[in-house]
Amino acid sequence: MQSEWPFDEPAPDDGGRGNVAEYSVSELSSALQRTVESTYGYVRVRGELGRVSRPGSGHVYLDLKDEKAVLSGVIWKGVVQNFRIQPEQGLEVVVTGKLTTFAGQSKYQIVIDTMEPAGVGALMALLEERRKKLAAEGLFDDTSKKPIPYLPRVIGVVTSPSGAVIRDILHRLRDRFPSHVLVWPARVQGEQCASEVAGGISGFNALEPGGTVPRPDLIIVARGGGSLEDLWGFNEEIVVRAVAASDIPLISAVGHETDWTLIDYAADERAPTPTAAAERAVPVRADLMATLDDLARRLNRGLWRILEEGKTKLRSAARGLPNLADVLALPRQRFDMAAGRLGMALKASAQSAGAELARIGGRLTPQPLRQQVLRFRDEAGKLADRAKGAVQRLVEAKTSALTAEAKLLATLGYQSVLERGFALVLGPDGKPVRAAADTTAGQGLDIEFHDGRVGVTVTDGGAAPKTSKAKRKAADKDPGDQGSLF
């Protein structure tokens, strides 16, 4: 019988009698999880990021450490996309999250909801180290920079299509000199920012001149102002290398005049603001639409307020819903662990099957098959000998029977009768003539004797020979009776 000890109070003293209640591993793990979550709830922790792992599921697993201890942490996929900075090994951060336990490995961990750098100094140190590395590769050399075209016919803009930046650029281009603008949608903040911005630059360069989609003569990479964490995506190596490799001249317009990112060093020219980038891209044609531009800005601000109010209402309604990440947290973590073990299990299974195949193949030699063939050959020879004797005996028996039948035929056949002096009369059709009434005058007959045949013609056919009464009576008498003389 299990005890009702709730684990949040000291265990009752059993007096050393050893009568301690037994609990299953799952019960103990669940009780510990309830204790940890109810005791600590949400905490704020500062430390240095150690191991950072990103499996295919999109979640991030990391270690938060200091000089004496290590705390495991996990960031779910839907949360990490909204971080201003992405976790990197060696970065000192302050995280906020909920402490919980993971029964699969008997350890506790923190489920991180927010992450901030421990100070601007940590990010600045990381940024300076990366700048020196890329500069040593020659990505920031002035000799590799290309001149900006005076009047580009097509301008490509890599930015967020829903932000105010693209509207500012388009408005400024219309005011100064209307041009054909291509917008490559990209996130300008968060985890996907770097890959999407780099993809936009490479995509514009991949367009063929004279194709269905015109190839830009100039590229503008733009984003509004923000903190160092907000602009961190433009400090990633993938973006800097894409800018340096661009064959199309490129203007960097990220942040305000005081905001500097690594993309500014690699670009062919840096503009202090997105609007300034538009002014640098084309010459001034006229300053005609100031009033309309002001009205458009007011309209945009009004729409933005409406959107913000809608977002606020949506967030308020969302708070009443259960947190889907909490419901799926442990199953997702178990799935990641199982996926990690799957490769090793498949490899072990293949090795086991290979060993079994080798063991069975060792027994498959031609010697047993050769012995079996020889044994079947001997048995087939014996059967052939037996069949040959049986056939010979059958032939002898049939020969004896045939000889006896031939003797019987010779005895009972009409040839023996012909040898005793009789003859066989055959008609024109070759059939025997059995009575004189069966013949006609002039009919040709064959008479077969024991030594051959002769042909005859009937002269008086069909009539029996006439005899007198006296001759018939004499024929009826015994030949030895001479009768009376008187």
pLDDT tens for 293-315 read 888 889 999 999 999 999 888 88
- Residue scoring higher pLDDT (106 or 147): 147
Rounded to whole angstroms, the Cα distance separating 294 from 300 reads: 10
* In a domain? residue 435: yes
Rounded to whole angstroms, the Cα distance separating 253 from 231 reads: 12
pLDDT at 154 over 60: yes
- Residue 362 tokens read as 């060792």
The last residue of one of the domains, among 388, 405, 422, is 405
* In a domain? residue 401: yes
Same domain? 43 vs 87: yes
CB of 251 closer than 8 Å to CB of 209? no
Same domain? 161 vs 106: no
> How does pLDDT run across 410-419, given as a tens digit for each residue?
777 777 777 7
- Residue scoring higher pLDDT (233 or 161): 161
pLDDT at 484 over 70: no
Residue 166's closest CA among 190, 180, 153, 184? 184
Same domain? 196 vs 249: yes
pLDDT at 249 over 90: yes
Rounded to whole angstroms, the Cα distance separating 239 from 130 reads: 13
Confidence of residue 274 (pLDDT cuts 50, 70, 90): very high
Please tell me the pTM assigned to this model: 0.42
> How does pLDDT run across 341-377, given as a tens digit for each residue?
888 888 888 888 888 888 887 677 777 778 888 888 8
* In a domain? residue 233: yes
Edge-first strand listing for the sheet containing 424-426: 424-426, 444-449, 452-457
pLDDT at 141 over 60: yes
Q: Please provide the average confidence, as pLDDT, over all residues in the chain.
A: 82
* In a domain? residue 396: yes
Confidence of residue 422 (pLDDT cuts 50, 70, 90): confident
Helices 120-136 and 237-244, packing angle to 10 deg: 30
> How does pLDDT run across 8-42, given as a tens digit for each residue?
555 555 555 556 778 788 888 888 878 877 777 78
- Residue scoring higher pLDDT (256 or 466): 256
- Residue scoring higher pLDDT (301 or 288): 301
Same domain? 56 vs 108: yes
Task: Look at residue 320 in the predicted model and tell me its pLDDT.
Answer: 74
Give the contacts of 292 (CB within 8 A, at least 6 positions apart): none
CB of 282 closer than 8 Å to CB of 251? no
Query: Any idea of the CA torsion for 254, 258, 262, 264, to the nearest 10 degrees?
Result: 60
Provide the domain count of the chain: 4
* Sign (positive or negative) of CA dihedral 26, 32, 38, 43: negative
Task: Look at residue 464 in the predicted model and tell me its pLDDT.
Answer: 52
Same domain? 106 vs 30: yes
Calculate ∠ Cα 145-149-155, nearest 5°. Answer: 105
- Residue 337 tokens read as 């662990």
Confidence of residue 122 (pLDDT cuts 50, 70, 90): low
Same domain? 174 vs 266: yes
* In a domain? residue 342: no
Confidence of residue 1 (pLDDT cuts 50, 70, 90): very low
Domain coverage including residue 174:
152-288
* In a domain? residue 470: no
- Residue scoring higher pLDDT (125 or 408): 408
Task: Look at residue 242 in the predicted model and tell me its pLDDT.
Answer: 93
The count of residues in the chain is 486
Q: Which of 4-8, 65-69, 140-144 has the lowest mean pLDDT?
A: 4-8
* In a domain? residue 16: no
Task: Look at residue 121 in the predicted model and tell me its pLDDT.
Answer: 64
* Sign (positive or negative) of CA dihedral 71, 72, 75, 80: positive
- Residue scoring higher pLDDT (101 or 183): 183
> How does pLDDT run across 315-328, given as a tens digit for each residue?
888 777 777 777 77
Task: Look at residue 197 in the predicted model and tell me its pLDDT.
Answer: 94
Query: What are the two backbone dihedrals, phi and then psi, of residue 231, each rounded to the nearest 5 degrees?
Result: -95, 10
Same domain? 52 vs 179: no
The last residue of one of the domains, among 272, 288, 304, is 288
C-alpha distance from residue 143 to each of 26, 60, 139, 271, 480 (Å): 66, 40, 10, 19, 169
Confidence of residue 285 (pLDDT cuts 50, 70, 90): low
The last residue of one of the domains, among 262, 288, 314, is 288
- Residue 472 tokens read as 């018939």
Helices 164-176 and 290-319, packing angle to 10 deg: 170
Three-state SS sequence of 213-254: CCCCCEEEEEECCCCCCCCHHHHCHHHHHHHHCCCCCEEEEE
> How does pLDDT run across 214-224, given as a tens digit for each residue?
999 999 999 98
Helix (H) / strand (E) containing 46: strand 42-53
pLDDT at 402 over 50: yes
CATH number of the domain that residue 236 is part of: 3.40.50.261
pLDDT at 49 over 50: yes
What is the DSSP pairing of strand 92-102 with strand 154-159?
A: unpaired
Rounded to whole angstroms, the Cα distance separating 62 from 46 reads: 14
- Residue scoring higher pLDDT (252 or 227): 252
Same domain? 380 vs 453: no
CB of 82 closer than 8 Å to CB of 15? no
Same domain? 446 vs 383: no
Give the contacts of 483 (CB within 8 A, at least 6 positions apart): 477
Query: What are the two backbone dihedrals, phi and then psi, of residue 354, each rounded to the nearest 5 degrees?
Result: -65, -40
pLDDT at 3 over 50: no
3-state secondary structure of 364: coil
Same domain? 164 vs 263: yes
Same domain? 173 vs 78: no
pLDDT at 157 over 90: yes
Residue whose structure tokens are 């299974």: 349
CB of 456 closer than 8 Å to CB of 447? yes
* In a domain? residue 87: yes
Task: Look at residue 91 in the predicted model and tell me its pLDDT.
Answer: 78
pLDDT at 2 over 70: no
Same domain? 87 vs 190: no
C-alpha distance from residue 212 to each of 86, 154, 206, 208, 215 (Å): 38, 13, 13, 9, 9
pLDDT at 158 over 60: yes
> How does pLDDT run across 449-478, given as a tens digit for each residue?
878 888 888 887 655 555 555 555 555 555
Q: Which of 70-74, 272-276, 369-373, 458-462 has the lowest mean pLDDT?
A: 458-462
